[in-house]
Amino acid sequence: MNYLPIFIDIKQKPCLVVGGGDIAYRKMSLLLKANAQVTCVDKSACENVQALADQNKIALIKRNFEASDINTQALIISATNNTQVNAQVSKLAHSANIPVNVVDSPDLCSFIMPSIVDRSPIIIAISSAGKTPVLARLIRAKLESTIPHAYGKLAELAGSFRDQVKAKFTNIEDRRFFWERSFSGIVAEKVFSGRVDEAKATMQKQLDDSTDSDVGEVYLVGGGPGDPDLLTFKALRLMQQADVILYDRLVSEGVMELVRRDAELIYVGKERDNHSVPQEGINQLLVDLAKKGRRVCRLKGGDPFIFGRGGEEIETLAENGIPFQVVPGITAASGCSTYSGIPLTHRDYSQSCRFVTGHLKDGSMNLPWDELAVEQQTIVFYMALKGAKHLSDKLIEHGMRGDMPVALVEKGTTPDHRVWTTTLVELPTIVATQPIKAPTLIIVGEVVKLREKLNWFDPSD
Ligand code: SAH
CATH number at residue 363: 3.30.950.10
Nearest CA among 399, 405, 397, 401 for reference residue 445 = 405
Residue that is last in its domain, among 113, 139, 173: 113
Asked whether residue 122 is domain-assigned, the answer is: no
Positions marked active-site? 248, 270
Inter-axis angle of helices 22-33 and 47-54, to 10 degrees?
40
* The pLDDT value given to residue 209: 74
Domain holding 387, by residue range, is 333-454
Is residue 346 located within the same domain as residue 448? yes
d(CA 65, CA 88) in angstroms, rounded, equals 9
Choosing from 77, 98, 113, the residue where a domain stops is 113
In this structure, are 318 and 337 located in the same domain? no
Residue 174 lies in a domain: no
Query: Is 314 within a domain?
Result: yes
The single-letter DSSP state of residue 61 is E
Q: What is the pLDDT of residue 212?
A: 45
Same domain membership, residue 300 and residue 267: yes
Burial track 436-449 (b if 16+ CB lie within 10 A, e otherwise): beebbbbbbbbbbb
Q: What is the CATH number of the domain that holds 222?
A: 3.40.1010.10
The pLDDT assigned to 460 comes to 62
Question: Does 284 lie in the same domain as 317?
Answer: yes
Asked whether residue 71 is domain-assigned, the answer is: yes
Residue 257 counted as domain residue: yes
Q: What is the pLDDT of residues 317-338, one digit of tens each?
A: 999 999 999 999 999 999 999 9
pLDDT at residue 91 is higher than 70: yes
Domain presence at residue 221: yes
Distance 383 CA to ligand 1 centre (A): 7
Task: Please state, in angstroms and rounded to a whole number, the distance separating the CA atoms of residues 351 and 299.
Answer: 33
Number of domains in the chain: 3
CA–CA separation, 330 vs 249, rounded Å? 17
Q: What is the CATH number of the domain that holds 65?
A: 3.40.50.720
Is residue 228 one of the residues assigned to a domain? yes
Tens digits of per-residue pLDDT, 99-149?
999 998 989 999 999 989 999 999 999 998 878 888 988 999 889 888 888
Domain boundary at 330, 350, 370, which? 330
> Are 316 and 227 within one domain?
yes
The set of residues, in sequence order, having a beta carbon less than 8 Å from that of 352 and lying 6+ positions away, is: 345, 376, 377, 378
Percent of the chain with pLDDT over 70: 96
Identify whether residues 260 and 248 lie together within a single domain: yes
Q: Which residues line the pocket of ligand 1, CB cutoff 6 A?
A: 225-226, 250, 300-303, 306-308, 331-332, 336, 382-383, 409, 411-413, 438-441
Question: Of 252, 307, 313, which is best to mutate to test ligand 1, by the most ligand atoms within 8 angstroms of its C-beta?
Answer: 307
Which amino acid is located at 400 in the chain? M
In a domain, 441, yes or no: yes
326 lies in the same domain as 220:
yes
Q: Please give the distance of CA 311 from its chain centroid, rounded to a whole number.
A: 23
